[in-house]
């Protein structure tokens, strides 16, 4: 018999986190009759890597070693090998609690074909103000704003914790778009084709799996620059999704980016220095909500600037191979008149490995 649920895991260079995820899945408390398997798309790993991974779990696990292909192709390979009627997409750095699978199964049984679980950021022993602002605000995700059992649009279909009934994918090619690589927009572009304009992403807070991913100051802004780079790929792959997200044509978005980068450079340099200093402290005191809100507002022009820098860099290099996109995001900030004033993007800085979800 095939399993009820196939847990789909794209993984690249995070074997330790993958092991923790599998250990958490081994501790699931399942209702009678519910079964699941795990299928891992090992992006950029060899068969030798796969052979060294543990295989003895109370569920079937399949490792698919792949050449470096990007997150979309890794998920496509895993979906093709999966047997379940429900596909549960997760990141390799979430840590599901024992009721995780059961909560997803119950939501699917209740008739919700697209179910978003809760994966808020964990708190660290040496939590900084930056970590806390990321966890509390809309800087990356915004679980704190979601209402349990409410339904949302495609932009909330984050694949770090999302279950989709397979029948919803029957008319999709891919189902993920291989052109979106190495990362970003793969999940929302997929969801745009799954649900369209429907408010159909059901939020189930009981499907709880904390997200053990720590964004540094540098990671965060290079993530925004990479989102700018990848927005050009999104426009090619799915113009309708691009317009639904940005509310403008690619040409208009690019024109606005070029204009925006030319203004407020002195003010944004001061804002970058202030934001960097304010968020570098350890979170050893009660951070009032209004303080994190103030820091969030302070950083918004910088967030937009990083995105615009990545977008313009990609537009200036239209024939770039996808393997250069992460480096392009770093270089976009290093060549920007605001970000280059920070030590992370000075002439002596080295490229980071931003790009993990």
Please report, for the chain, the start and end positions of each structural domain, with discontinuous segments joined by +.
Answer: 5-124+141-208, 217-345
What mean pLDDT do residues 147-156 have?
A: 98
Joined together, the tokens standing for residue 304 give 């937009």
Q: Residue written as tokens 């806390």? A: 132
Q: With 90 as the cut, is the pLDDT of residue 54 above it?
A: no
Reply yes or no on whether the pLDDT at 278 is more than 80: yes
Q: What is the pLDDT of residue 353?
A: 52
Higher pLDDT, 122 or 353: 122
The whole-number pLDDT of residue 347 equals: 66
Asked if pLDDT for residue 349 goes beyond 80, the answer is no
What tens digit of pLDDT does each residue of 305-315 get? Answer: 999 999 999 99
Asked whether residue 190 carries a pLDDT value surpassing 90, the answer given is yes
Cross-strand bridge partners of residue 36: 5
**pTM score, whole prediction:** 0.95
Is residue 188 pLDDT above 80, yes or no? Answer: yes
Q: pLDDT grade, residue 351 (50/70/90)?
A: low
pLDDT at 92: 97
Predicted confidence (pLDDT) at residue 330 exceeds the cutoff of 90: yes
Q: What is the pLDDT of residue 171?
A: 87
Backbone angles phi, psi at 233, to 5 degrees: -70, -40
> Is residue 167's pLDDT more than 60?
yes
- How far is Cα 334 from Cα 347, in angstroms, rounded to an integer? 7
* pLDDT value of position 15: 87
When the pLDDT of each residue in the chain is averaged and rounded to a whole number, the result is 94
Which CATH architecture best describes the domain 5-124+141-208?
Answer: Alpha-Beta Complex (3.90)
- Nearest Cα residue to 109 out of 210, 8, 202, 208: 202
Determine the distance from the C-alpha atom of residue 356 to the mean position of all C-alpha atoms in its chain, rounded to a whole number.
Answer: 7
Q: Dihedral (C-alpha) 74, 76, 80, 86: value to the nearest 10 degrees?
A: 110
Confidence at 69, pLDDT banded by 50, 70, 90: very high
């Amino acid at each position: 018999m095939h399993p009820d649920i196939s847990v789909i895991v794209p993984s690249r260079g995070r074997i330790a986190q993958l092991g923790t995820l599998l250990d958490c899945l081994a501790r699931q408390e399942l209702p009678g009759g519910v079964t699941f398997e795990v299928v891992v798309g090992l992006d950029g790993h060899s068969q030798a890597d796969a052979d060294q991974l543990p295989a003895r779990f109370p569920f079937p696990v399949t490792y698919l070693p792949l050449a470096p292909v990007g997150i979309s192709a890794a998920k496509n390979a895993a979906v093709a090998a999966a047997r379940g009627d429900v596909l549960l997409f997760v990141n390799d750095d979430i840590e599901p609690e024992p009721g995780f699978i059961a909560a997803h199964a119950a939501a699917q049984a209740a008739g919700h074909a697209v179910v978003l679980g809760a994966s808020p950021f964990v708190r660290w022993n040496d939590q900084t103000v930056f970590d806390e602002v990321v966890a509390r605000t809309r800087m990356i995700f915004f679980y704190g704003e979601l209402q349990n059992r409410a339904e949302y649009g495609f932009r909330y279909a984050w694949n770090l914790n999302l279950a989709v009934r397979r029948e919803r994918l029957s008319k999709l090619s891919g189902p993920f778009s291989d052109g979106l690589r190495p990362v970003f927009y793969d999940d929302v572009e997929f969801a745009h084709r799954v649900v369209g304009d429907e408010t159909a992403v059901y939020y189930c807070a009981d499907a709880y799996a904390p997200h053990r991913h720590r964004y540094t100051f540098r990671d965060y802004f290079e993530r925004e620059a990479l989102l700018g780079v990848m927005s050009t790929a999104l426009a090619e792959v799915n113009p309708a999704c691009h317009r639904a997200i940005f509310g403008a044509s690619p040409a208009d978005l690019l024109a606005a980016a070029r204009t925006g980068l030319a203004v407020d450079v002195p003010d944004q340099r001061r804002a970058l220095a202030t934001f960097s200093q304010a968020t570098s402290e350890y979170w050893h005191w009660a951070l009032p909500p209004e303080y994190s809100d103030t820091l969030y507002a302070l950083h918004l022009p910088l967030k937009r600037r990083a995105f615009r820098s990545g977008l313009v860099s990609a537009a200036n290099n239209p024939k770039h191979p996808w393997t250069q996109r992460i480096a392009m995001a770093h270089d976009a900030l290093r060549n920007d008149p605001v970000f280059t004033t920070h030590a992370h993007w000075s002439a002596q800085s080295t490229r980071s490995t931003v790009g993990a979800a």
